[in-house]
Amino acid sequence: MAAIPPITNLQAFEAVARRRSFAIAANELHLTASAVSHQIARLEDFLGVRLFERSAHGVRLSPAGERYLSRVGGAITALTTATDDLRQGLSNSLYVHCAPSLASLWLMPRLHEFARAHPEITLNLSAAHTHSDFALGQADIDIRYGVPNWPELVVEPLFEERILPLASPAYIRDHRLRRVEQLLELPLIQSNVSVVQWSDWFSAFTDRRAPDRFSVRFDRAQMSLDAASQGLGVALESATMAGKHIREGKLRPPFGTDKAIEVKAHFAVYPARHGKRPPVEAFLAWVHGQAAKG
């Protein structure tokens, strides 16, 4: 078995990397700055590389440090969290990782129902575009967005979404937006991470090519929808993700709901062994029930 450095060295490394300061990391770890510096020096000697670059402006990770943190950071967090949970007796802890827009626009408004139905489960929710690394124990369930290609994992689609143009009522009225060809003359909002792009939509519903340039670009559906609500242009987004915006009258489809591309792009993903845990079973049953409601 390959040797690994002492956990105290790794904890010091993670704290300094996160805080970008030996003094602040030392305070967090209840150590002196000198002790933390010695921990880092021992780790650098063990690995044979320099992990930090020190200057008059502070401390930052070296390229090797960046690579190392990306591999061990999640493992350290998982160890710390698992230890804390066990010490506090939280045997029913559940760790869910989620795509950011689904977390804020769809999951969060419904979580009170899960908490009410399962008060015995302590739910920990994180959100990021990057997927959880199940090998590092970062999550029990990962709700991912994209084209499913995750071998050796259980992949369960949540719902079918309708991707269609959306704009504010005022924007539609001011631009007299009635025909799809008018979109070529108006600012279009680009959602960089969407599985359906404007080029796909134009190919499906017009004989014209989508513009090559966009007025604004975003990497989250939340920002794209908010920009359309504020009159910055026309967004191409999921009617499911935009549900609250549509119900509140902030957005509506200028061409009706038939000009939509249907996709399945949100999936509950987990290793098969995780599915045997009661908290995981409870959450999966609940989230599928919520998805079925629309």
Other C-beta atoms closer than 10 Å to the C-beta of 162 total 18
Matching CATH number, 7-86, of 3.60.20.10, 3.50.50.60, 1.10.150.120, 1.10.10.10: 1.10.10.10
Nearest Cα neighbor of 218 from 194, 200, 196 is 194
Q: How would DSSP label each residue in 114-156?
A: HHHH-TT-EEEEEE-SSPP-GGGT--SEEEEESS---TTSEEE
Q: Residue 19 is encoded by which pair of tokens?
A: 């805080």
> 142: Cβ–Cβ under 8 A, 6 or more apart, which residues?
96, 97, 98, 131, 132, 134, 268, 269, 270
**Mean pLDDT value of segment 114-118:** 95
Which pLDDT score, from 0 to 100, does residue 88 have?
52
Q: Do domains 90-159+265-293 and 161-263 have the same CATH topology?
A: yes
Whether pLDDT at 268 is above 60? yes
Using DSSP bridges, classify how beta strands 188-191 and 216-218 pair: parallel, antiparallel or unpaired.
parallel
43, two tokens: 């780790």
Q: What are the pLDDT digits (tens) for 161-189? A: 999 999 999 999 999 999 999 999 999 99
pLDDT in tens, 191-200: 988 999 999 9
pLDDT of residue 84: 60
Show Cβ contacts of residue 38 under 8 Å, excluding neighbours closer than 6 positions: none
Helix (H) or strand (E) holding 282, with range, is helix 278-293
Going from N- to C-terminal start, the domains of the chain cover 7-86, 90-159+265-293, 161-263
What is the distance between the alpha carbons of residues 166 and 228, in angstroms, rounded to a whole number? 7
Q: Where are the alpha helices (DSSP H) in 61-218?
A: 63-88, 100-102, 111-117, 169-174, 198-205
Handedness of CA 141, 142, 143, 149 (dihedral sign): negative
Query: 1: pLDDT confidence band, cut at 50, 70 and 90?
Result: very low
Quick check: 94 and 153 in contact, CB under 8 A? no
211: confidence class by pLDDT, cuts 50, 70, 90: confident
Of residues 97 and 134, the one with the higher pLDDT is: 97
Residue that wins the pLDDT comparison between 282 and 193:
282
Please give the class, per CATH, of domain 161-263. Answer: alpha beta
* C-alpha 107: how far from chain center: 12
- pLDDT range class, residue 235, cuts 50, 70, 90: very high
Question: In this structure, what token pair is assigned to residue 62?
Answer: 């070296």
In whole angstroms, what is the distance from residue 284 CA to residue 276 CA? 11
The DSSP annotation for 240-264 comes to TTTHHHHHTTS-B-TT-TTS-EEE-
CATH topology of domain 90-159+265-293: D-Maltodextrin-Binding Protein; domain 2 (3.40.190)
The dihedral region occupied by 210, where left means phi > 0, alpha psi between -120 and 50, and beta the remainder, is: beta
Report the distance separating Cα 273 and Cα 264, nearest Å: 25
pLDDT value of position 28? 84
In this structure, what token pair is assigned to residue 202? 């134009």
